[in-house]
A and B are shown apart, each in its own frame.
Chain A
Amino acid sequence: SSVLTQPPSVAVAPGQTARITCDGNNIGSQSVHWYQQKPGQAPVLVVYDDSDRPSGIPERFSGSNSRNTATLAISRVEAGDEADYYCQVYDSSSDHAVFGGGTKLTVL
């Protein structure tokens, strides 16, 4: 089954672009989904199918996926973006989901 590796933490100044990576063997051949989780709250889907945004998610959130790395980019970072972010794929052969370990985004 897939193993997804995320950096434990990323720090960025307000107004800059944050990039959170999700490494996996040949992850570019799968669809990657991203969730934002603020303390004490349930996860919220922010990007699905590599680069699509659910309604209500700002255009500042974007995703890409190629070869062995998927990336969530958050442009013009705001204090309210501070949260944990998780990547997720679905192994269709086993019908199991896999989550990355999560990345804590700190806005300096």
Chain B
Amino acid sequence: QEKLVQSGAEVRKPGTSVKISCQASGYTFTTYYIHWVRQGPGQGLEWMGWIDPSSGDTNLAQNFQGRVTMTRATSVDTAYMELNTLASDDSAVYYCARGRRNWGQVYYDFWGRGTLVTVS
């Protein structure tokens, strides 16, 4: 069964950093990009960026450039997302999702259960 298992909830103080993990299982990790999406309390979905687990290449949304680092460890089929200089409005649920690419278009066929990050 294909799935993405995310790390547990985190509490951080403003100005610090958080690193979230997303472990894939049930498929070949390097075949599909991992995307990160966040959702603030009562808010919609906000796309953050992706990492290619095969090459380590990343592509970040402009809002997160300079503040987010995406990495992976192929030995343990895990992607990571680190967000620096946290502020209160970074409090959100952070999801990883598997990106399926079809003729240049990408959709997310399954998601991790989310990691709640609270900045306070």
Smallest Cβ-Cβ distance to B100: which chain A residue? A48
CB of A95 closer than 8 Å to a CB of B: yes
The range of chain B's interface size is 20 to 34
In the complex, the 8 A-B pairs of residues with the closest C-beta atoms, listed nearest first: A33-B107, A31-B105, A92-B104, A42-B111, A97-B47, A90-B106, A99-B45, A102-B44
CA distance in complex: A86, B97 (Å):
15
Asked if A45 meets B110 with Cβ closer than 8 Å, knowing A96-B47, A96-B61, A99-B45, the reply is: yes
CB of A61 closer than 8 Å to a CB of B: no
Smallest Cβ-Cβ distance to B45: which chain A residue? A99
CB of A17 closer than 8 Å to a CB of B: no
CA distance in complex: A6, B70 (Å):
30
Interface, chain A (partner B; CB < 8 A): 30-31, 33, 35, 41-45, 48-49, 54, 86, 88-90, 92, 95-102
CB of B59 closer than 8 Å to a CB of A: yes
CB of B112 closer than 8 Å to a CB of A: yes
Contacts of B112 in A (CB 8 A): 42
Interface, chain B (partner A; CB < 8 A): 35, 37, 44-47, 50, 59, 61, 95, 97, 100, 102-114
A45 and B102: CB pair below 8 A?
no
A90 and B111: CB pair below 8 A?
no
B109 and A45: CB pair below 8 A?
yes
Question: Which residue from A48, A95, A96, A101 sits with its C-beta under 8 Å from B107?
Answer: A48
B107 and A99: CB pair below 8 A?
no
B108 and A45: CB pair below 8 A?
yes
B32 to chain A, nearest CB (A): 14
20 A/B residue pairs, CB under 8 Å, sorted by A: A30-B105, A31-B105, A33-B107, A35-B108, A41-B113, A42-B111, A42-B112, A42-B113, A42-B114, A45-B110, A48-B100, A48-B109, A49-B105, A49-B107, A54-B109, A92-B105, A95-B59, A96-B61, A97-B35, A99-B45
